[in-house]
Amino acid sequence: MSFFLNSLRGNQEVSQEKLDVAGVQFDAMCSTFNNILSTCLEKCIPHEGFGEPDLTKGEQCCIDRCVAKMHYSNRLIGGFVQTRGFGPENQLRHYSRFVAKEKVDDPKN
């Protein structure tokens, strides 16, 4: 969400459009994190009670592999979806106005 708190560009105002985009991004990341958490816990942690307060070495390795696989597949699917034209410019109604405003405000142009 640092795009609306970017200190390199000086003072920027926080608009509702930027907050809307940040909200969508936050919801997507939160959903992805919760999905990874529930899937990996279900797969790697035994259901018959907890005998130890810490994870065992096997549980730690299982969770590490599970999270790595989920993260990789999420990136792979996200890239595929973007190549098919399902990027933010098509799905988020405020995105095109945000990009146009950023190009106008960019001091490099």
pLDDT tens-digit map of 82-109 = 788 776 666 666 666 666 665 555 555 5
- Give 13-48+56-105's CATH code, choosing from 3.90.1150.10, 1.10.10.10, 1.10.287.810, 1.10.357.10: 1.10.287.810
For residue 49, what pLDDT is reported? 73
Instruction: Look at residue 43 and tell me whether its pLDDT is greater than 80.
Output: yes
pLDDT band, residue 17 (cuts 50/70/90): confident
Which pairs with CB-CB distance under 8 Å and at least 24 residues apart come from 98-105? Answer: 98/17, 98/18, 98/21, 101/17, 105/9, 105/12
Sequence-separated (6 or more) residues with CB below 8 Å from residue 19: 4
In three-state secondary structure terms, 54 is: coil
Give the C-alpha separation, 21 to 31, whole Å: 15
Q: How is the chain split into domains, by residue range? A: 13-48+56-105
